[in-house]
Structure 1
Amino acid sequence: MSADRAPLRRALAHGEEEGGSIEFKTRLTRATHLADGRMESLAAQLRHRVLSGDGEATYVIGVDDDGAIAGISPDAFSESMDVLSLLAEEADAHIEDVETWGIENQHATESETTAAAGEGLVGIATLRDGPMLEADDEHVVVGTAGHVDHGKSTLVGSLVTGDRDDGQGGTRSFLDVQPHEVERGLSADLSYAVYGFDDDGPVRMDNPHRKTDRAAVVQEADRLVSFVDTVGHEPWLHTTIRGLVGQKLDYGLLAVAADDGPTKTTREHLGILLATELPTLVAITKTDIVSEERVAEVESEVEAMLREVGETPLPVDRHGVDAAIEEIGTVVPILRTSPVTGAGIDDLDTLFEALPKRDNDADAPFRMYIDRSYAVTGVGAVASGTVNAGTVEAGDELLLGPMPDGNFREVTVRSIEMHYHRVDKAKAGRIVGIALKGVEEAEIERGMALVPRDSQPNPVREFEAEVVVLNHPTRIGDGYEPVVHLETLSEAAQFFPEDGRLLPGDNGRTTVRFKFRPYLIEEGQRFVFREGRSKGVGTVRSTTSN
């Protein structure tokens, strides 16, 4: 809900005019406004408003024809947005943005609850000419990793804005999502950023704090690059794992600070990236604060670290960006960077503009694991995550779950947003927020999945897996209880090894049983398990229904 009422005051002061771009509606209902004949006339009216505003119209909902603020219940406002979206589609337009304000509800009916009657809304919907944006097929998603204070967020901040850093991590603030993160200078959850490219080069944001700037990048760029920025602080390793395992990433970007060099956390993050078979590049950051000799020394340390795990390093300074583009996946490119001086930024731009989108499951049935959820006033519950497979469109009927009892909930897609821009559909690999009808936000949990309503998904409490034990102080026996990170879920589970035990370095089979509830698990999915210093990776080989 927007606190600034200036847009509402301006719209009310301007008022409805014949031949103008502003329209007042108390509310819109399916029964009345989508009836035969009515829909066509309202779509024609909407088209007229859009053309009168040179491609943009403003609809004020919850306001009477004379401009008096009425206010309607949240449910009525949601229905009005659904109807307005259908009218816009009929008029070859789309809703680009919605702002809402709470006021005393003047139009509550006897059928509405007392709570709803006290939570009236008035809102402004901005409509634009043309259909909603369809994102490009070459949208690349990059996951960042690296030790705390090694500059990965600062580097991404400079990439998406083109701004030089102030030497104090100023550009990293463009990615932080919680006030305490800004205050402490530490990221505690996943953050997201986007930039893109057109025929003239990079398309960046002037001010990433303005959601309109992010939306403009999505609208203007021919090719998009999204970043999932993870957490470097050791206590939040589980969040880093969630970011690298739970998102459908195309590439990994590992940051190593030139003043500090590779650390234990660096090696741990590299292990996760490689365990998920993610093509990875390494950025040596903070090259502006050390000598050339120290940069070369850290580069040698990174090369040695990569060789230790069977990877081939490719220093871009010596071999060039073109070699990195051609060979990434079989080699790990290493770049020297500094957001303060701008060193390496052009090389990263060249890489991200040219790197191909990895094969995805765009033709498979739709599936998305939920990473987070939130409620939007006037819209309702929104589930956010990366589309794992298939395509989703507004109006699709889906299943959400499994719920703790193993059942799935029937829901309908109300609308889809990508980096604050409404899109008509989203394909595999897109990071999106999906507004859902049929469920309350409090019922949505991380790790749940969205799938087609006719897919008959099976909730899984137990599965068979092949695992590799990367680190463990003794042996893993029956009843061992790590946390399993698979897609976006992080859940305590029990292991029951096929031969009764697993030793460090072992590759073996085990039964994995979730302790508390079932999830949607499928053969072939990879996962990470962790308990204290013990860590390993695995692949689902078969599942047992709940």
Structure 2
Amino acid sequence: MKGNGAAPATTVDALTAEFHKQDINANNFDRTPAQDDVRTLKERVLAPESGGKGLLPTLNAWLHDQVWSEGGELTLHLGGGKDNDGRFSDEKELERAIENVIDAAQAVGCTASVLRRGVLPKPAEENNDPHPPSSEHQQEDDRAAGTGEVFYSAHLMVRRIPASAQELLEIRIAVVGNVDAGKSTMLGVLTKGTLDDGRGKARVNLFRHKHEIESGRTSSVGMEIMGYDAAGKPVVSQNAKEGKEDSGRKLTWEEICEKAAKVISFIDLAGHENYLKTTLFGMTGCLPDFVVLMVGANAGLIGMSKEHLGIALALAVPVVVCITKVDMTPVHILEATIKQLTKILRSPGCRKTPIFIHTMNQVVDTALRLNSDRICPVFQISNVTGMNMDLLRAFLNILPQAPSAKFKPDKPFEYQISDTFSVPFVGTVVSGVILSGRVKVGDSLLIGPDSLGQFMQTAVRSIQRKRVNVEGGSAGQSVSFALKRIRRNQVRKGMVMLSRNPEGGAQPKAFMEFDAEILCLYHSTTLSIGSCMVLHAASIRQTVKIVGILHLTDQGLSGEGEQEVDTKSTANVVRTGDRARLRLRFIRFGEYVKPGLKLITREGKTKLIGVVRSVGTVEPLSYFAKHPDAQGTSGTASTSTALNAATGGAGAGGSSANSSNGGTAPATGTTGQAVSSARTAVVGA
């Protein structure tokens, strides 16, 4: 892969191979403790060789450390600081800084590309002007007049050049929406690089079954990938790049991984109401980092779209909205759809700020803020004319990886199984996502639980990532394992694979019962002891029965508002809007559940959402009314803290509801806030 600039490809490849060795020599660069280096970003990039005497790290060393600490991708905002010391008043000075970053990136096995350039007006307090110029025309006038009242800035993306598919950056995106909203068609256009013909030509390659092709409706969890190279350009066929009408065959996954540095894994989910269970499994079992909600401009936010939006809010997954079919929709219908969508997103339940994307500046700003702010980018696209598809591709390229707190590579290995296969001449194969830890070919692992709650020993025969053989995997990656000594009928969805504990360590257990704090989103009647429903938690999908109920009032976990309830009385019921602590029992066999696991239950449509509070408890639920801080036999103090944070410490009508009407909240949200959000989105919208 060729780098930018004058450096020959062979030199870049050699440097890339050197830096991708597992044991990089820490003494390759001059370094100093971070606290001793107080230089601004501007000072770093304008003096790249300042560490030549060993006093301060060079730009190469600093950039290498930053890119690797961020997982292989780093965004730099040159000239974006609030302090004048970090701004660029000279455009030539900014260009020199950009060239230095590009050269340093090449030296450490990366590629730097410019996302955007901008001109910023001087702050009002510096101009003594209470009304600063806000329009682009005013900024251009200042620049033309030579007043010096502007600053120059640029956003740069520094991306590691992977040595193999094992080091690819990956983002998982679930695509949801009502039936006939254009989900599969949009994915076909994005992944193939050519436009649709208006009759579904682009979506054919995404279907897995014959009846899906005939009906045009997805009924299973479809997977497709889209690649970006280190410079941020989409990886498509040569004919598609040249804009030819017949783009030829679509690139295989192996070809995409060979050329790409970042891969977007699309999870194509069903929109029909009959396939809600499949969509729910894809949302919980495939662990998407983002959700793209498709809305037909000619239909609006109807049917299952509201249900899917509520599920995304309950799972605290950032949402992006794509309004499709804008080319065939009358103006007044499109305006009504936008008005309806804006009203729902701004409602107290969602508390999202819709941002309609029209420029590259908006693309960069929203993509970088999506994980930290309560914003919702909205794209108006057409799969036939290609309207705004270039902005959507650029947005997907800039999207950051999942926060490091979500997946922890330094923890023991844990892997959830979302699908199983039997491959000729290979044997049993499982696919899923690594939740924590690392694994390599030949490692001995435990897989389970089986129908008796036991864990079996197995070993990893081979590993594939995006259909490419790799030597290992780490937390956050979706991979497939070929297993030794395991038959296909011994594995199922919902199982986990764990690292083998050292001698004398505690063995993993499967539990038949667990306690969960829930909110009832909607029920036509009531839920009582003995009621059954289907539970979705991670890749687990099994029927559970309510065996105990403890109501929680507005004070929530403080203990003062908890009521003791006789769990043997059938008069104790859960109605729409109620918060309660339920004791749930699996109907068939035990599962591997842990405190803090988010769950969703359904009876047709979504009914309850919540979080697992404790597992393996032997105390009656009435015990927790008198001892609100108790966690059961398996709970810990750290679990208590995490769950109090997850539920927000308030009921649906308590302080969490109050906070939804005013103030700001974290972008990802907490389970308690998501509970209130999902209730409004699903029931009230």
- TM-score (normalised: structure 2): 0.58
Say if 2:616 is the partner of 1:544: yes
Q: Greater CA deviation, 297-306 or 270-279?
A: 297-306
Give the greater-gyration-radius structure (CA).
2
> Partner of 1:310 in structure 2?
350
> Partner of 2:493 in structure 1?
446
Q: Superposed, which structure 2 residues align to 1:479-490 within 5 Å? A: 479-490=530-541
Q: Superposed, which structure 2 residues align to 1:185-224 within 5 Å? A: 185-198=216-229, 199=231, 201-204=233-236, 213-224=252-263
CA RMSD of aligned residues (A): 2.3
> Partner of 2:110 in structure 1?
none
Contact 2:368 2:398 in 1 (8 A): no
Residues 1:327 and 1:542: Cα distance change in structure 2 (over 3 Å): same
Residues 1:522 and 1:448: Cα distance change in structure 2 (over 3 Å): same
Amino acid at match of 1:180: H
Instruction: Give the whole-Å Cα distance in 2 for the aligned partners of 1:463 and 1:385.
Output: 24
1:542 to partner: Cα distance: 0.8
Q: Superposed, which structure 2 residues align to 1:352-363 within 5 Å? A: 352-359=396-403, 360-363=407-410
Instruction: Give the whole-Å Cα distance in 1 for the aligned partners of 2:393 and 2:412.
Output: 33
1:369 to partner: Cα distance: 1.6
Residues 1:348 and 1:211: Cα distance change in structure 2 (over 3 Å): closer
- 1:467 corresponds, among 518, 530, 538, to 518
Contact 1:363 1:389 in 2 (8 A): yes
Contact 1:459 1:545 in 2 (8 A): no
Q: Aligned to 1:498, what secondary structure does the other structure show?
A: strand
Say if 2:370 is the partner of 1:328: yes
Instruction: Give the whole-Å Cα distance in 2 for the aligned partners of 1:211 and 1:524.
Output: 42
Contact 1:132 1:422 in 2 (8 A): no
Residues 1:132 and 1:440: Cα distance change in structure 2 (over 3 Å): farther
Alignment deviations for residues 148-179 of structure 1 (CA, whole Å, 9 cap, x no partner)? 11101111111111110111122112221122
Residues 1:387 and 1:204: Cα distance change in structure 2 (over 3 Å): farther
Instruction: Give the whole-Å Cα distance in 2 for the aligned partners of 1:209 and 1:419.
Output: 22
Contact 1:132 1:424 in 2 (8 A): no
Say if 2:195 is the partner of 1:148: no
Instruction: Give the whole-Å Cα distance in 1 for the aligned partners of 2:257 and 2:218.
Output: 25
Alignment deviations for residues 291-325 of structure 1 (CA, whole Å, 9 cap, x no partner)? 23322321221111222323222222388223322
1:215 to partner: Cα distance: 1.1
Instruction: Give the whole-Å Cα distance in 1 for the aligned partners of 2:387 and 2:468.
Output: 32
1:379 to partner: Cα distance: 0.7
Amino acid at match of 1:398: L
Q: Greater CA deviation, 307-316 or 466-475?
A: 307-316
Instruction: Give the whole-Å Cα distance in 1 for the aligned partners of 2:603 and 2:597.
Output: 20
Amino acid at match of 2:235: V
Residues 1:320 and 1:197: Cα distance change in structure 2 (over 3 Å): same
1:386 to partner: Cα distance: 2.0
Residues 1:209 and 1:305: Cα distance change in structure 2 (over 3 Å): farther
Contact 2:313 2:350 in 1 (8 A): no
Contact 1:141 1:429 in 2 (8 A): no
Alignment deviations for residues 245-279 of structure 1 (CA, whole Å, 9 cap, x no partner)? 11121111110111111113100000001100001
- 2:460 corresponds, among 413, 434, 439, to 413
Task: State the percentage of identical aligned residues.
Answer: 31
- 1:134 corresponds, among 151, 154, 166, to 166
Q: Superposed, which structure 2 residues align to 1:374-413 within 5 Å? A: 374-413=421-460
Contact 2:600 2:606 in 1 (8 A): no
Instruction: Give the whole-Å Cα distance in 2 for the aligned partners of 1:180 and 1:209.
Output: 25
Q: Aligned to 2:514, what secondary structure does the other structure show?
A: strand
- 2:603 corresponds, among 505, 526, 531, to 531
Residues 1:420 and 1:233: Cα distance change in structure 2 (over 3 Å): same
Residues 1:466 and 1:545: Cα distance change in structure 2 (over 3 Å): closer
1:392 to partner: Cα distance: 2.2
1:391 to partner: Cα distance: 2.1
Q: Greater CA deviation, 315-324 or 339-348?
A: 315-324
For structure 1, which runs of at least 5 residues remain unmatched after alignment?
Answer: 1-129
Q: Aligned to 1:289, what secondary structure does the other structure show?
A: coil
> Partner of 1:476 in structure 2?
527
> Partner of 1:512 in structure 2?
584
Q: Aligned to 1:317, what secondary structure does the other structure show?
A: coil
How many pairs align? 416
1:211 to partner: Cα distance: 9.4
Residues 1:191 and 1:289: Cα distance change in structure 2 (over 3 Å): same
- 2:214 corresponds, among 168, 183, 199, to 183
Contact 2:192 2:250 in 1 (8 A): no
Contact 2:599 2:611 in 1 (8 A): yes
Alignment deviations for residues 332-367 of structure 1 (CA, whole Å, 9 cap, x no partner)? 111101111111221111111111111222322222
Residues 1:205 and 1:462: Cα distance change in structure 2 (over 3 Å): farther
Q: Superposed, which structure 2 residues align to 1:4-83 within 5 Å? A: none
Contact 2:446 2:455 in 1 (8 A): yes
Say if 2:469 is the partner of 1:429: no
Amino acid at match of 1:447: G
- 1:498 corresponds, among 550, 558, 564, to 550
1:456 to partner: Cα distance: 2.1
Say if 2:317 is the partner of 1:278: yes
Alignment deviations for residues 393-438 of structure 1 (CA, whole Å, 9 cap, x no partner)? 2111111110011111111111111221112222223222211111
Amino acid at match of 2:573: R
Q: Greater CA deviation, 233-242 or 306-315?
A: 306-315
Q: Greater CA deviation, 158-167 or 360-369?
A: 360-369
> Partner of 2:509 in structure 1?
458
Contact 1:398 1:450 in 2 (8 A): yes
Contact 2:178 2:295 in 1 (8 A): yes
1:194 to partner: Cα distance: 0.7
1:184 to partner: Cα distance: 2.0
> Partner of 2:131 in structure 1?
none
- 1:243 corresponds, among 255, 279, 282, to 282
